[in-house]
Structure 1
Amino acid sequence: MTIRTILRYPNPGLFKVCAPVTVFDGTLRTLADDLAETMRAAPGVGITAAHIGVDARIFVLELSKDDGLRIYVNPEILESSKATIIHNEGSVSMPGAVEEVERPTSIRVRYQDLDGAFHDEAADGFHAVCIQHEIDQLDGIFWLQRLSRLKRERLVTKWKKAQR
């Protein structure tokens, strides 16, 4: 396992749509291991291949040590609730920046595991928020794009000042 370099906002790689994974082999397993190690070192609760500059639709989540590591390959949201939740979000690519984002409270997601087998999973609350956040990233939507222009500009200005 290797801790990889995380792309920092506003790197163009964070706004790129990732390609579907088509080969399920040792290279994919190594990528998943590296993502987990990189996420833990950041620290964070989720990270995509896009965050480390890899063009592949894969992300890992570890909401808690008790919950364990979850790996999602080629994820897609099948259903979303009309009810929404507001939750503080941030990114390993923009450490220290946090803002409230509104998303559906519950979702149903379909994904593949590291062997290519398909799974359907229901998620709600924080778990659903995290999955949506990471799928956005795989779709080239950086979380700041979910904010109003005013909130986004204020947050970016504050974050840039803090980076100096």
Structure 2
Amino acid sequence: MILPIVAYGDAVLRKKCEEIGPDYPELDRLIADMFETMYQASGVGLAAPQIGQSIRLFVIDASPYGDDEDSLKDFKKIFINAEILERGGKDWSTGEGCLSIPDIREDVSRPEDITIRYMDEEFGEHTETYSGMAARIIQHEYDHVEGKLFTDYLSPLKKRMLQNRLNAISKGEIRAEYRMRFPKPSRKRR
């Protein structure tokens, strides 16, 4: 089932997410729905907060980058309860976007290498090291389960320049190519 993607401004995108266990209800269905939602929105990663679930789960399919990096041709993974253990290498900057922040792409600097510990969908534990685009995509999705967005890495000046566009997204004043859920407007007291 294709789920609506939570838009910038929703509080769930700013929460540090909770770990889950093997008994999490209908986890297989949730993972399948997340992949379907991500593909429908032409994304390469999707974190649970982006569909309104404050749990430490994200999915990645980096195969669209397979022409640029051979290691990404079949790079499809599920990360549960992930923890980045180490970041290293040189920082490199490239354009990032986010399904929760449509039509905004900005250069973000991130370390080129990471080591991450996570559980797969069978709750088998893995500790792996990634470099390049795989490391970048993982860090972007990992940030979501930590309550961070790529816009947090922008300079204060760049954030001010984008503020009107970000406000428009949070108000639903945008047109996305996929279903979105916008924050409810706060009630003003009289």
Q: Which range is displaced more, 150-159 or 79-88? A: 150-159
Deviations 1:120-158 (A, max 9, x none): 111111110111111111000121111111112222324
Would the alpha carbon gap of residues 86 and 50 (structure 1) be closer, same or farther in structure 2, given more than 3 Å must change?
same
> Matches of 2:85 and 2:159 in 1, distance apart?
28
Deviations 1:49-85 (A, max 9, x none): 0000012100001111632421111111111114111
Unaligned runs of 5+ in 2: 65-72, 176-190
Does structure 2 conserve the Cα–Cα contact (< 8 Å) formed by 1:46 and 1:59? Answer: yes
Does structure 1 conserve the Cα–Cα contact (< 8 Å) formed by 2:97 and 2:104? Answer: yes
Q: Which range is displaced more, 18-27 or 41-50? A: 18-27
Equivalent residue, structure 1, for 2:34: 35
Alignment equivalent of 1:163, drawn from 164, 171, 174 = 174
> Offset of 1:40 from its aligned partner?
0.7
Equivalent residue, structure 1, for 2:178: none
> Matches of 1:64 and 1:26 in 2, distance apart?
29
Unaligned runs of 5+ in 1: none
Q: Which structure has the bigger radius of gyration?
A: 2
Does 1:6 pair with 2:5? Answer: yes
Q: TM-score with structure 1 length normalisation?
A: 0.92
Give the superposed CA RMSD.
1.8
Q: TM-score with structure 2 length normalisation?
A: 0.80
Q: Which has the higher strand share?
A: 2
Question: Residue type of the partner of 2:104?
Answer: A
SS in 1 for 2:8: coil
Does structure 1 conserve the Cα–Cα contact (< 8 Å) formed by 2:113 and 2:132? Answer: yes
